[in-house]
Copies of this chain bind each other. A is one copy, B any other.
Amino acid sequence: MSKVSPRRTDPRTHTALIEIAAALLATEGPQALSTRRITAEAGTSTMAVYTYFGGMSGLVRQMVHEGFQRLQGHLTAVRSTFDPVADMALLGRAYRMNALANPHLYSVMFGGASLSGFSLTDDDRQHGRYTLTSVVECVANCVAAGRFADADVAHVAHQMWMATHGLVTLELGGYLAAPLDGEALFDPQLVALMVGAGDRPDAAARSVRASRRRIERELTAQAG
List the interface of chain A (C-beta within 8 A of B). Answer: 29-31, 107, 110-114, 117, 120, 122, 125, 128-129, 152, 154-156, 158-159, 161-167, 169-170, 172-177, 180, 185, 188-189, 191-197, 201
Contacts A112-B173, A125-B173 aside, 12 further interface pairs with beta carbons under 8 A come to A113-B114, A125-B175, A155-B180, A155-B185, A156-B192, A159-B185, A159-B189, A163-B163, A165-B170, A169-B169, A193-B196, A196-B201
Nearest-CB distance from A190 to chain B (Å)?
9
Nearest-CB distance from A49 to chain B (Å)?
19
Copies of this protein in the complex: 2
Please tell me if the beta carbons of A170 and B162 are within 8 angstroms of each other in the complex: yes
Please tell me if the beta carbons of B30 and A173 are within 8 angstroms of each other in the complex: no
- Decide yes or no: A192 and B159 within 8 Å by CB, A166-B166, A169-B165, A175-B129 being known contacts: yes
Nearest-CB distance from A206 to chain B (Å)?
15
Complex Cα distance, B111 from A192, in Å, reads 24
- Decide yes or no: A30 and B114 within 8 Å by CB, A129-B175, A162-B167, A165-B169 being known contacts: yes
Chain B residues within an 8 Å CB radius of A111: 107, 111-113, 169, 173
Chain B, Cβ-Cβ closest to A112: B173
Kindly identify which residue among B163, B173, B175, B197 contacts A166, using a CB–CB cutoff of 8 Å: B163
- Decide yes or no: A188 and B173 within 8 Å by CB, A111-B113, A165-B166, A196-B193 being known contacts: no
Chain B residues within an 8 Å CB radius of A188: 152, 155, 159
Please tell me if the beta carbons of A162 and B158 are within 8 angstroms of each other in the complex: no
Chain B residues within an 8 Å CB radius of A175: 110, 125, 128-129
Please tell me if the beta carbons of B117 and A107 are within 8 angstroms of each other in the complex: no
